[in-house]
Amino acid sequence: MKKRMFIFLGLLLFSTRISYSEEERSNFTNKVKEYVIENVGDFELANELYGYIKYYAKEYSVEEELIVSVIKVESNYDVVAVSQVGAIGLMQLMPKTAEYLGVEAEYIPENIKGGVKYLKECLSKNGEDIALALAAYNAGLGAVKKYSSIPPYRETQKYIEKVLKEYNKLKKEKYVLKDGNGIIIQKKITNAYCFTCNSHGSNYSLGSCNDILRYTETDG
């Protein structure tokens, strides 16, 4: 009888220990690291890359979620990527930008360091506004300064949308693109920040969207 009782208690304890809620299970995983592994494919390389990302995220006080999202859109985690205009590596640094940042863009750790350092500069010079920082990373700090907003470049606007789409996968608070009529053109919205634009896409502003559910979502 005692033996049966011990077995029963053991099974009860075991079943209790493995019956974690989804929220509890998420605490035991690193979503950002899993995201990197999923995109890289090679576990050892992904682990190495995440180590650099984590280190420089802390060094420059930039969100890991934002860094990995930028890398996804810039190079799709191709460590030897070179663009048609000569941008290099994971974070697609131009040679002149790499020189300005004091890094060797061809080397993986230096590429990540330079990209995160530049992303931090873009954030700092734009009031920590993520949308403006991404615009600056893509189009240059000068372009954002010239328009005092996100430049009216379709490439830059699409770039921001793509990065925020990845960023939203990793964050509870999401960024949402909203057009000039107040129509959300991104799905699966929770608590969010919105940036709005006019019909020509040349005038953006960023603000909190506490009443976001009253807007109409589309399939865009």
Every domain of the chain and the residues it spans: 30-171
CATH architecture under which domain 30-171 falls:
Orthogonal Bundle (1.10)
Mean pLDDT in order along the chain per 10 residues (220 residues): 42 38 49 95 94 97 97 97 95 96 96 98 95 96 94 94 92 62 40 41 40 31
Instruction: Look up 121 and say whether it is catalytic.
Output: no
State the Cα torsion 110-111-113-117 to the nearest 10°.
Answer: 130
Active-site annotation holder among 64, 65, 74, 110:
74
**Quick one: pLDDT at residue 174?**
61
Give the integer Cα–Cα distance in Å for 209 and 56: 31
pLDDT at position 171 is 85
Structure tokens at 88: 């290099």
Cα–Cα dist 101/174, whole Å:
30
Q: In this predicted structure, what is the pLDDT of residue 176?
A: 61
